[in-house]
Chains A and B, each alone.
Chain A
Amino acid sequence: MEAVVFVFSLLDCCALIFLSVYFIITLSDLECDYINARSCCSKLNKWVIPELIGHTVVTVLMLVSLHWFIFLLNLPVATWNIYRFIMVPSGNMGVFDPTEIHNRGQLKSHMKEAMIKLGFHLLCFFMYLYSMILALIND
């Protein structure tokens, strides 16, 4: 059972890593002027909810399977994701708003956020991998 949890987590984490990389690439495209803000934001906004769900699911899974440490590790990031999603003003087109992304260094902060998430997911990836192997061995 334990192994199944971690295998799932591992897959989910892989997806999140890919998503983070995709965010970084798209944002840097915008930074370099390869795409315009409109298409960049519509691309990214599409993936905000999948990311949020993917991460929340893992977090909940950890809670359910009573892996407290991993749950607590994931909690802040999951909270941040949800908070960010909820706090989008009603007039904005999503977490990434093309009319504001170039203002007040938002682009940079988005970029920073995506980088941090990438690092976090990589860390999680190895933790899950380790835990999975451990679980498989124990089985």
Chain B
Amino acid sequence: MSAPAGSPHPAASARIPPKFAGAAASGAAAPSGPGPAPHHQNGPAHSQMQVPSGYGLHHPNYIGPSGHFPQGPGKMTSLPLESQRGDYYSGLYTVPTQNVVTPCTANQSGAQQMYGRGPPAPHVVGSTPGSFQGAASSASHLYTSASQPYSSFVNHYNSPAMYSVNSSVASQGFPSTCGHYAMSTISNAVYPSVSYPSLPAGDPYGQMFTSQNAPTVRPVKDNSFPGQNTVVSYPSPLPPPPSQQQQQQQQQQQQQQQQQQSLSGYNTLSWSAPGLPSTPDSLIRNHTGSLAPTNNNPTNTVADSLSCAVMQNVQPRKSSPVVSTVLSGASSTRMPSAAKHPTEPVAPVTQPSELIQQKGMQYGEYVNNQASSAPTPLSSTSDDEEEEEEDEEAGVDSSSTTSSASPMPNSYDALEGGSYPDVHSSSASSPAPDPAPEPDPAPAPAPAPAPAAPQPSKMAKPFGYGYPILQPGYQNAAAPLNSGVHPSSQGYSGFQQYPQQYPGVNQLSSGLGGLSLQSSPQPESLRPINLTQERNVLPMTPVWPPVPNLNLELKKLNCSPDSFRCTLTNIPQTQALLNKAKLPLGLLLHPFRDLTQLPVITSNTIVRCRSCRTYINPFVSFIDQRRWKCNLCYRVNDVPEEFMYNPLTRSYGEPHKRPEVQNSTVEFIASSDYMLRPPQPAVYLFVLDVSHNAVEAGYLTILCQSLLENLDKLPGDSRTRIGFMTFDSTIHFYNLQEGLSQPQMLIVSDIDDVFLPTPDSLLVNLYESKELIKDLLNALPNMFTNTRETHSALGPALQAAFKLMSPTGGRVSVFQTQLPSLGAGLLQSREDPNQRSSTKVVQHLGPATDFYKKLALDCSGQQTAVDLFLLSSQYSDLASLACMSKYSAGCIYYYPSFHHTHNPSQAEKLQKDLKRYLTRKIGFEAVMRIRCTKGLSMHTFHGNFFVRSTDLLSLANINPDAGFAVQLSIEESLTDTSLVCFQTALLYTSSKGERRIRVHTLCLPVVSSLADVYAGVDVQAAICLLANMAVDRSVSSSLSDARDALVNAVVDSLSAYGSTVSNLQHSALIAPGSLKLFPLYVLALLKQKAFRTGTSTRLDDRVYAMCQIKSQPLVHLMKMIHPNLYRIDRLTDEGAIHVNDRVVPQPPLQKLSAEKLTREGAFLMDCGSVFYIWIGKGCDNNFIEDVLGYPNFASIPQKMTHLPELDTLSSERTRSFITWLKDGRPLSAVLHVVKDESPAKTEFFQHLIEDRTEAAFSYYEFLLHVQQQICK
């Protein structure tokens, strides 16, 4: 797609905007409109949401991620060990650590999570019993094969899958929301700093607690209480399952089930809070499936941390011996796995469970659950698990023992995934098919009549028949999806029908009663919304990404939206359809984010497609045991001998159970085939500006202090090297060679031809020369205090740095405080201050010279990344300087008007940013390749990197805070496939010198109708992609072009929707539910620093905002674009979540309008990197005193950047809320307390993007403007 200006020629710009939209445009219909559903639901709804969310959180959204995430929670319980690692890898697992804090807490959290997961499954059952069973059964089959280690994963997935099904099928509201929640939590979890993982679970639960605890508890007691953990519990669980089955058949009974399930879900919630042992058991029973996974997860996670598949295997092993017999007999694999872990300690218990399982094949799920429940308590004890792990590791090599029992056919089915899902998907997608029918539908698609037999295995077989066909699964999946989405092709008509179709949901809601489901019968994503009449478009809760409308299996396996998102979760079949939809098609990636849980696979052969080099992933199909078909190029490949053996289960002949095929996000330890040279050590070079300007600003003290504090935490191994350079008009090197008594400063004044005075001793081993380094860092801040040198020879310094780094590669951190004024790369001031608020032309957004770009490319070629810290009070031409980071895959930090004493908030921000910067994970000499299914092609990449060849991004460094975007076009019609996949493979050298490959795989459905395309729009992803495109347009063409393009994106997409899909009044401004936030977000973008006009904006600020848009991952970018506003003077514990023993209140989101501000209130605005607390004049003095520590409004100082730690309830709530929001951000946020009268309030008010400003529309005016444009 040449959408953005195909060429830099201004002439071409005339119709640019439309192209812009059109180019990227494509429609995908996603049935689930999670966002809206949550909104509608109020208090009660929340509770429901939460319940599922607890579980759903992880699973529903992304199957793939779910695996990870679930594990994450699991880890929390068991992982303390890992968390402690704190190493390079710790980054991945950071989250767990916090959670882990104390074993007790860990257990609780784990329990919560486990419960959470468990509950979802039950929910699913309730909503669509038929589907539920089917899914469960299938899942169980898959797992039965006894790949226990994986089974755990599977379990997770299963539970999530269940959810997803519900969501897609029924009103998204319920399941989808859950899924969304899960997502949110997950995203939070992503960042190590916060103990998010626990939080997510907590959120849902927390809410649950408040209102629903009482009811939930009761049911729990009834069912589960009798038998807490052990044998006793099993019997109790058994009875329920049968009842459930019956119920499934009868919808009426469904309600009951739902209630039970819901109860269970709630129970789980309650559990988390109390952390009672007995309760967990009950919960477990209810959720069996889910619980089991959780147990497994912890173990798995541990294993992951260890980084070996082996570890996973280990766990299974132990369990397996006990269970093995059971497995063969029992249909449900999950159970075994779950049971197994616990089993060791309590062998007898597990066996009974197994027996039970065998008896009730249909009930397998429940049984499984029970079994799992039994284990859970055991698992909670971290010690046991750890031991198991160790044992397993030791025994990994030993031959596989147990799982022979699993029937091959089933496993294959599972492998194909696609085929399986079909059945499920049909049931799931179509609301109409109730649980009972599900079994039937499954057989229908599949040739083999799977007897509705309760056994899942049978179900699987039909699919198995399908194998010969190329992509049976996929084919099947597609059709169901469509039907599910909208009965009729046109969204509207279909939409109305929904309520009827989802009886299950309604019943659920009724059954839940006070709990609350507001059944949202309609697919929210397609509900037509008259934007001009809808006062409250913004939901009260955060917006979650839509869940792709896939079948259960695939949903479970799919990649987390935090890592991988597509603007259209339903991919249009043809470019023509995409053009019709006028929506951008692209991917948003966050490939290296900190994960709490990540399967790491060590294997001699990494299985890849022989023609397209795709890594084997969960969406490939196994044609038979020896061959698999690539899901990107459709080539049939052989399964290598080694792959036949599953280290987790120690079984042979089950390639589909391998972790590579069970997780959409995996990490491989690469062999030497993946190295061009021996893995490089971690090398860090600091290039510091020490001109007068820099000394005056005083950043050196902060930097040296941070470095001293974090010297031991720098990621790296024993080979880590570090070096320092300073520069003003000359360049100073520091010889830190071991053996010197003190650092030796070497000055090179020939800046026209820079040379290295002593090439060997400038970069020194961190550990060997630590004392010298510390001496230098202590001395550095005072060395230049009297300097009179005002010039800055940045260019030559960078050249020298390049020379220094080129033998190894590594990271160069450049600190610059002014415009470079000497030598190569000198720059002139280009900003005209009078033009800052110009509404016409904003010039100089592009670089002034190609020096920095060339340098960056040189650096990139030598695997060196340049990170720029610009601490400047004047114009420094960031547009030019940023090039050094942009193309070398570095990152850019900008601290306008930095001064260590005059601007303490910036100083503090620098300090915090440095801490994160120095200690976060880092990958060296990385390349990233993005592959997609044949027919799709990528044409434009956004982010900091160098595109070395068509789909290969060269990343000298990769850091966990880097986000990327890719624009896609559809080159060939996708009519012969119903699923498309995207795979990102990031090959990097870890700071420990290991070559690793992190692979994410995302699977999305293909749709043929425009309505489906609209139903699947991920509005946040679309906005972020548009923002990236608009940055490109601003630079290559002009800012006004970019702004027009943004407006046209809204106009075109809404008018296309109005003229093609919606048949309603053409005079009104109608948007589908999935796009209802689109105009708001675009308006927010237009008022963003990067794109605003008419408001005084410094050029560097603008350019920095653009750099951020290009390089921030979606979650952070969205906060920059559309801040969150909360009212904080009346925080309550209602709906609060629990994180690390802290209660975090969850106030509702307010819309960004002054109408929401009251003088009596206090409001918190979260803008990503800045927090504002606005205090109204009439704010309650109690609040001011309790939270701010001042007696009344008048005594609050003008500049306040900290909240005092007061020992009052409201202070505690406020602080815990803010801390929670701050956690896990790449950029630490600065807090400003803004009084209503203070001059600083304009900064606060400029973020109220729904209000009118002198230079920009209000939201309503913008809507009218859009409407006018459409009517033209």
Where the two chains meet, the residues of A that have a C-beta atom closer than 8 Å to any C-beta of B are 30-31, 33, 36-38, 87-93, 98-99, 101-107, 109
Q: Considering the chains assembled together, what is the distance between the CA atoms of A89 and B940 in angstroms?
A: 19
Tell me which of B6, B850, B941 has the highest count of chain A C-beta atoms within 10 A of its own C-beta. B850
Report the 9 A-B pairs with minimum CB-CB distance, sorted nearest first.
A91-B847, A102-B947, A33-B949, A103-B940, A105-B2, A36-B948, A93-B850, A91-B846, A104-B940
- Kindly list chain A residues whose C-beta atoms are within 8 Å of the C-beta of B950: 31, 33, 102, 107
Query: A135 CB to closest chain B CB, in angstroms?
Result: 39
Residue of A nearest to B947 (CB): A102
Q: Considering the chains assembled together, what is the distance between the CA atoms of A91 and B9 in angstroms?
A: 15
Q: Is B1256 an interface residue, CB under 8 A from the partner?
A: no
Is the Cβ of B849 less than 8 Å from the Cβ of A89?
no
Is the Cβ of A37 less than 8 Å from the Cβ of B949?
yes
Is the Cβ of B857 less than 8 Å from the Cβ of A98?
yes
Count class of interface residues, chain B? 20 to 34
Tell me which of B5, B6, B880, B947 has the highest count of chain A C-beta atoms within 10 A of its own C-beta. B947
Is the Cβ of A99 less than 8 Å from the Cβ of B949?
no
Is the Cβ of A99 less than 8 Å from the Cβ of B8?
no
- Kindly list chain A residues whose C-beta atoms are within 8 Å of the C-beta of B340: none
Q: Considering the chains assembled together, what is the distance between the CA atoms of A82 and B880 in angstroms?
A: 25
User: Could you say which of A30, A98, A104 contacts B3, with CB atoms under 8 Å apart?
Assistant: A104
Using known A-B contacts A91-B848, A91-B849, A104-B2, determine if residue A99 contacts B857 with beta carbons closer than 8 Å: yes
Query: B950 CB to closest chain A CB, in angstroms?
Result: 6
Residue of B nearest to A93 (CB): B850
Main secondary structure of the interface of A (DSSP, over half): loop
Q: Is B85 an interface residue, CB under 8 A from the partner?
A: no
- The proximity string for B residues 213-257 relative to A, scoring 1 for CB distances below 8 Å and 0 otherwise, is 000000000000000000000000000000000000000000000
Q: Considering the chains assembled together, what is the distance between the CA atoms of A88 and B1036 in angstroms?
A: 10
- Kindly list chain B residues whose C-beta atoms are within 8 Å of the C-beta of A33: 949-950, 952
Residue of A nearest to B948 (CB): A36
- The proximity string for B residues 928-966 relative to A, scoring 1 for CB distances below 8 Å and 0 otherwise, is 000000000001110000111110100000000000000
- Kindly list chain B residues whose C-beta atoms are within 8 Å of the C-beta of A101: 947
- Kindly list chain B residues whose C-beta atoms are within 8 Å of the C-beta of A89: 8, 846-847, 1036
User: Could you say which of B2, B880, B940, B949 contacts A91, with CB atoms under 8 Å apart?
Assistant: B880
Is the Cβ of A92 less than 8 Å from the Cβ of B6?
no
Query: A94 CB to closest chain B CB, in angstroms?
Result: 8
Using known A-B contacts A38-B857, A109-B6, determine if residue A30 contacts B949 with beta carbons closer than 8 Å: yes
Is the Cβ of A36 less than 8 Å from the Cβ of B949?
yes
Q: Considering the chains assembled together, what is the distance between the CA atoms of A106 and B2 in angstroms?
A: 8
- Kindly list chain A residues whose C-beta atoms are within 8 Å of the C-beta of B4: 104
Query: A37 CB to closest chain B CB, in angstroms?
Result: 6
Where the two chains meet, the residues of B that have a C-beta atom closer than 8 Å to any C-beta of A are 1-9, 846-850, 853-854, 857, 861, 879-880, 883, 886-887, 939-941, 946-950, 952, 1032, 1036
Residue of A nearest to B879 (CB): A91
Q: Considering the chains assembled together, what is the distance between the CA atoms of A31 and B939 in angstroms?
A: 12
- Kindly list chain A residues whose C-beta atoms are within 8 Å of the C-beta of B883: 91
Is the Cβ of A37 less than 8 Å from the Cβ of B853?
no
- Kindly list chain A residues whose C-beta atoms are within 8 Å of the C-beta of B948: 36-38
- Kindly list chain A residues whose C-beta atoms are within 8 Å of the C-beta of B952: 33
Q: Considering the chains assembled together, what is the distance between the CA atoms of A98 and B861 in angstroms?
A: 12
- Kindly list chain A residues whose C-beta atoms are within 8 Å of the C-beta of B1: 104-105
Q: Considering the chains assembled together, what is the distance between the CA atoms of A109 and B949 in angstroms?
A: 16
Number of A-B residue pairs having CB atoms within 8 Å of each other in the complex: 79
Query: B882 CB to closest chain A CB, in angstroms?
Result: 10
Is the Cβ of A105 less than 8 Å from the Cβ of B846?
no
Query: B115 CB to closest chain A CB, in angstroms?
Result: 48
Query: A4 CB to closest chain B CB, in angstroms?
Result: 38
- Kindly list chain B residues whose C-beta atoms are within 8 Å of the C-beta of A91: 846-850, 853, 879-880, 883
Is the Cβ of B2 less than 8 Å from the Cβ of A98?
no
Is the Cβ of A103 less than 8 Å from the Cβ of B7?
no
Q: With contacts A89-B8, A103-B940 known, what are 8 further pairs, Cβ within 8 A?
A: A36-B948, A37-B947, A93-B853, A99-B886, A102-B941, A102-B950, A103-B1032, A105-B939
Query: B1025 CB to closest chain A CB, in angstroms?
Result: 14
Tell me which of B3, B7, B848 has the highest count of chain A C-beta atoms within 10 A of its own C-beta. B7
Using known A-B contacts A37-B947, A87-B8, A91-B853, determine if residue A103 contacts B939 with beta carbons closer than 8 Å: yes
Is the Cβ of B8 less than 8 Å from the Cβ of A105?
no
Q: Considering the chains assembled together, what is the distance between the CA atoms of A89 and B1036 in angstroms?
A: 8
User: Could you say which of B9, B854, B880, B941 contacts A103, with CB atoms under 8 Å apart?
Assistant: B941
- Kindly list chain A residues whose C-beta atoms are within 8 Å of the C-beta of B879: 91
User: Could you say which of A98, A102, A109 contacts B7, with CB atoms under 8 Å apart?
Assistant: A109
Q: Considering the chains assembled together, what is the distance between the CA atoms of A33 and B951 in angstroms?
A: 9
Is the Cβ of A93 less than 8 Å from the Cβ of B941?
no
- Kindly list chain A residues whose C-beta atoms are within 8 Å of the C-beta of B861: 38
- Kindly list chain A residues whose C-beta atoms are within 8 Å of the C-beta of B847: 89-91
Residue of B nearest to A105 (CB): B2
Is the Cβ of A105 less than 8 Å from the Cβ of B6?
yes
Q: Considering the chains assembled together, what is the distance between the CA atoms of A105 and B7 in angstroms?
A: 9
- Kindly list chain B residues whose C-beta atoms are within 8 Å of the C-beta of A37: 946-949
- Kindly list chain B residues whose C-beta atoms are within 8 Å of the C-beta of A38: 857, 861, 946, 948
Tell me which of B3, B846, B887, B948 has the highest count of chain A C-beta atoms within 10 A of its own C-beta. B948
- Kindly list chain B residues whose C-beta atoms are within 8 Å of the C-beta of A106: 6-7
Tell me which of A36, A88, A93, A109 has the highest count of chain B C-beta atoms within 10 A of its own C-beta. A36
Q: Considering the chains assembled together, what is the distance between the CA atoms of A118 and B1193 in angstroms?
A: 76
Q: Considering the chains assembled together, what is the distance between the CA atoms of A98 and B948 in angstroms?
A: 8
Using known A-B contacts A91-B853, A93-B853, A103-B941, determine if residue A98 contacts B8 with beta carbons closer than 8 Å: no
- Kindly list chain B residues whose C-beta atoms are within 8 Å of the C-beta of A109: 2, 6-7
Q: Could you give 29 example pairs across A and B, Cβ below 8 Å?
A: A30-B949, A33-B949, A36-B948, A37-B946, A37-B948, A38-B946, A89-B846, A89-B1036, A90-B850, A91-B846, A91-B848, A91-B850, A91-B879, A91-B883, A99-B853, A99-B946, A101-B947, A102-B941, A102-B949, A102-B950, A103-B1032, A104-B1, A104-B6, A104-B939, A105-B939, A106-B7, A109-B2, A109-B6, A109-B7
Query: B2 CB to closest chain A CB, in angstroms?
Result: 5
Q: Considering the chains assembled together, what is the distance between the CA atoms of A90 and B850 in angstroms?
A: 7
Q: Considering the chains assembled together, what is the distance between the CA atoms of A2 and B883 in angstroms?
A: 52
Q: Considering the chains assembled together, what is the distance between the CA atoms of A102 and B929 in angstroms?
A: 14
Q: Considering the chains assembled together, what is the distance between the CA atoms of A38 and B856 in angstroms?
A: 11
- Kindly list chain B residues whose C-beta atoms are within 8 Å of the C-beta of A102: 940-941, 947, 949-950
- Kindly list chain A residues whose C-beta atoms are within 8 Å of the C-beta of B5: 104
Q: Considering the chains assembled together, what is the distance between the CA atoms of A102 and B953 in angstroms?
A: 10
- Kindly list chain A residues whose C-beta atoms are within 8 Å of the C-beta of B850: 90-93
Residue of A nearest to B5 (CB): A104
Tell me which of B2, B8, B861, B886 has the highest count of chain A C-beta atoms within 10 A of its own C-beta. B8
Q: Considering the chains assembled together, what is the distance between the CA atoms of A90 and B848 in angstroms?
A: 5
Is the Cβ of A98 less than 8 Å from the Cβ of B946?
yes
Is the Cβ of B939 less than 8 Å from the Cβ of A90?
no
- Kindly list chain A residues whose C-beta atoms are within 8 Å of the C-beta of B1032: 103-104
Residue of A nearest to B954 (CB): A36
- Kindly list chain A residues whose C-beta atoms are within 8 Å of the C-beta of B880: 91
Q: Considering the chains assembled together, what is the distance between the CA atoms of A88 and B946 in angstroms?
A: 19
Q: Considering the chains assembled together, what is the distance between the CA atoms of A73 and B848 in angstroms?
A: 36
Using known A-B contacts A38-B861, A91-B853, A105-B939, determine if residue A99 contacts B2 with beta carbons closer than 8 Å: no
Q: Considering the chains assembled together, what is the distance between the CA atoms of A37 and B949 in angstroms?
A: 6
Is the Cβ of A87 less than 8 Å from the Cβ of B9?
yes
Q: Considering the chains assembled together, what is the distance between the CA atoms of A87 and B11 in angstroms?
A: 11
Q: Considering the chains assembled together, what is the distance between the CA atoms of A65 and B410 in angstroms?
A: 83
Query: A98 CB to closest chain B CB, in angstroms?
Result: 6
- Kindly list chain A residues whose C-beta atoms are within 8 Å of the C-beta of B1036: 89
- Kindly list chain B residues whose C-beta atoms are within 8 Å of the C-beta of A36: 948-949
- Kindly list chain B residues whose C-beta atoms are within 8 Å of the C-beta of A98: 857, 946
Q: Considering the chains assembled together, what is the distance between the CA atoms of A87 and B170 in angstroms?
A: 56
Query: A50 CB to closest chain B CB, in angstroms?
Result: 20
Q: Considering the chains assembled together, what is the distance between the CA atoms of A64 and B1 in angstroms?
A: 43
Q: Considering the chains assembled together, what is the distance between the CA atoms of A86 and B1121 in angstroms?
A: 36
Tell me which of B879, B883, B940, B949 has the highest count of chain A C-beta atoms within 10 A of its own C-beta. B949
Q: Considering the chains assembled together, what is the distance between the CA atoms of A30 and B886 in angstroms?
A: 22
Q: Considering the chains assembled together, what is the distance between the CA atoms of A92 and B643 in angstroms?
A: 48
Residue of A nearest to B1035 (CB): A89
